[in-house]
Amino acid sequence: MSYWLLKSEPTSYSTGDLRREGKTAWEGVRNFQARNFLRDSMKVGDLALFYHSATEVPAVAGIARIASEAYPDPTQFDAKSMYFDPTATKENPRWYVVDVEFAEAFAQPLALSKLHDDTALVGMELLRRGSRLSVQPVTKEHFVHIKKRSARALAAA
């Protein structure tokens, strides 16, 4: 079983949205490295940190569970979608999605600034300067540590 981190701008899709819907197709990944992780390495049952990016307080806000194998991203074929890709064909899709389902919303999101202060998280891809990868692997140790920190934040609140 593997661990991941998924970025989303909360104005576009947040942990609250996932909690409400229960499950969603993780659409719109348009970076090859991120796609390869989705398509080739994610397995049903894997867990992912749900990260809120490009927002006032960037933070890990919850946990999602991978709920399907990868399949072609339907938005690449939809001329009306902002994710439309004219180079993609049904025979030769370029972009993929997995379904993700709600697992947990942190009572108190763990801010990026707090994560930067945490010596247990040294080497985490998210904390690398200039890191933009929207789908990234997370070590089990880092995943467990962040989950524990969120539980402590909950207990302290």
Which residues make up the interface to DNA (CB under 7 A)? 7, 9, 30-33, 53-55, 58, 112-113, 116, 128-134
CB of 155 to DNA, least distance (A): 25
Nearer to DNA, 58 or 62 (CB): 58
Q: How far is the CB of 5 from DNA (least distance, A)?
A: 10
Cβ proximity to DNA: between 53 and 139 the closer is 53
Closest contact distance (angstroms) between CB of 108 and DNA is 17
Q: How far apart are CA 93 and CA 103, in angstroms?
A: 29
The answer to whether the beta carbons of residues 153 and 110 sit under 8 Å apart is: yes
Q: Which is nearer to DNA, 136 or 150 (CB)?
A: 136
d(CA 131, CA 125): 7
Nearer to DNA, 56 or 155 (CB): 56
Least distance in angstroms from the C-beta of 98 to DNA? 18
- Alpha helix locations (H) across the chain? 15-21, 32-36, 112-116, 140-156
Question: In Å, how far from its chain's centre is CA 35?
Answer: 12
Residues 106, 48, 58, 96, Cα dihedral to 10°: -140
